Structure 1
Amino acid sequence: MSTTTTDIALAPGTWAIDPTHTEVGFVTRHLMVSKVRGSFREVSGTVEVAEDITKSVVDVTAQIASVDTGNADRDTHLKSGDFFDAEQFPTMTFRSTAFDGETLTGDLTIKDVTKSVTFDVDFGGVGQDPWGNTKAGFEATATVNRKDWGLTWNAAVEGGGVLVSDKISLTIDVQLAKQA
């Protein structure tokens, strides 16, 4: 389903990311034959919705140490200097630079390297929770090359190929809460 700016009915103002209902996830190929999925469990941020929705600004921060692939050894490796180097670079950030209602472009910073990324956006809608709080949902997806951020570790596998693909699919499933 394609989203357009006329489909997005968000009240102007500050909307905070609801971390318990938001996931910043990724998928990569492992051994070039299967997929490994993971996410960052600690996410925060805001969306400053402008009167003109295309002028809105998105800020998201994920804590690298919260990476979770369901395998403790793999998570430890991802946090190490071979990949994210969580000790030296504890966060990954995204700040939007353009929004046209269907795509969101912004600066993704990992390991102090900033590159422009464009996400396809689907607007889930706006509703109220049982306590009267206004919520909104979006899903944003993009494909990136991890090497663009210096995430270059890999290992050759017998018969050709590599352990981890360069191509990474990113998905942000976000629920926002309207701030007073």
Structure 2
Amino acid sequence: MYRLSFLHTVRYCHKPLIGLLLSAWMVASSHAATYHIDPTHTNVRFAIDHFKTSTNTGGFYNLTGQLEYDPAAKIGNISLTIPLNSLMTGDKAFDIALKSPDFFDIGKYPLARFESTKWYFQTDKNRSAVTKVDGMLTMHGKTNPVTLTATKFNCYLSYVLKKSVCGGDFTTTIDRTQWGISKYTLLGITEKVDLTIQIEAAKQ
């Protein structure tokens, strides 16, 4: 009788402890891993119509930032810093014009930033895939919401780095006038700018 009472007491006392350990395990298992952005494989490229005759293109490089990602728990977060002085179009005169106060005004606004606010996942064949990412883009002294559509996103084990690497491609179209960049819109250069963002980050 005493033994049964003792065992019952042990079980009862351990219930809160077991619950606490289980909760801790669940929190730990859903904690997103941290990845550092690889500047050599991360960039933002743009395309804008030029008087309805051709498309001007260019890009920003050497981006920095951090990715947090856990596909099992469907958790994602990313922050990117874009150095606008890295702008390259293949035309030095055009680069200078875009960096001037008429457009990006990099002397006053040298950086652009993107901070995600929500990630969307779709489960297909027992695998969670990223479909899009909402976030806030700060540029030219203004911050506005944007939605990035994922054309692909995946993780793999890098034999060179000997660690997990995640990355993908995203697209969106923005209205540059929302960031106060409206030069030549009345002359025929559209306000719509197509963006393609390539991201790659290594696990820390």
Aligned partners of 1:155, 1:89: CA distance in 2, in Å?
A: 21
> Which residue is 1:143 aligned to?
173
Aligned length: 163
Aligned partners of 1:106, 1:52: CA distance in 2, in Å?
A: 20
> Which residue is 1:28 aligned to?
48
Q: Percent identity?
A: 31
Aligned partners of 1:156, 1:148: CA distance in 2, in Å?
A: 15
Q: Larger RCO: Structure 1 or Structure 2 (Cα < 8 Å, ≥ 6 residues apart)? A: 1
SS in 2 for 1:87: coil
Answering whether residue 118 of structure 2 is matched by residue 93 of structure 1, we say no
Structure 1: where are the runs of 5+ without partners? Answer: 1-10
The alpha carbon displacement at 1:156 in A equals 5.7
CA RMSD of aligned residues (A): 1.7
> Which residue is 2:146 aligned to?
117
- The residue correspondences of 1:3-152 to structure 2 (distance < 5 A) are 12-50=32-70, 52-54=73-75, 56-101=76-121, 102-131=131-160, 132-152=162-182
72-81 or 115-124: which moved more? 115-124
The alpha carbon displacement at 1:12 in A equals 2.6
> Which residue is 1:175 aligned to?
200
Structure 2: where are the runs of 5+ without partners? Answer: 1-30, 122-130
Q: Which aligned segments of 4 or more residues in structure 1 are displaced greater than 4 angstroms? A: none
Which one has the bigger helix percentage? 2
Letter of the 2:154 partner, please give it: G
Letter of the 2:33 partner, please give it: G
Deviations 1:94-128 (A, max 9, x none): 00111112110100011110000001013332222
TM-score (structure 1 length as normaliser) = 0.84
Letter of the 1:133 partner, please give it: K
Aligned partners of 1:43, 1:170: CA distance in 2, in Å?
A: 15
Letter of the 1:167 partner, please give it: K
Aligned partners of 2:84, 2:141: CA distance in 1, in Å?
A: 13
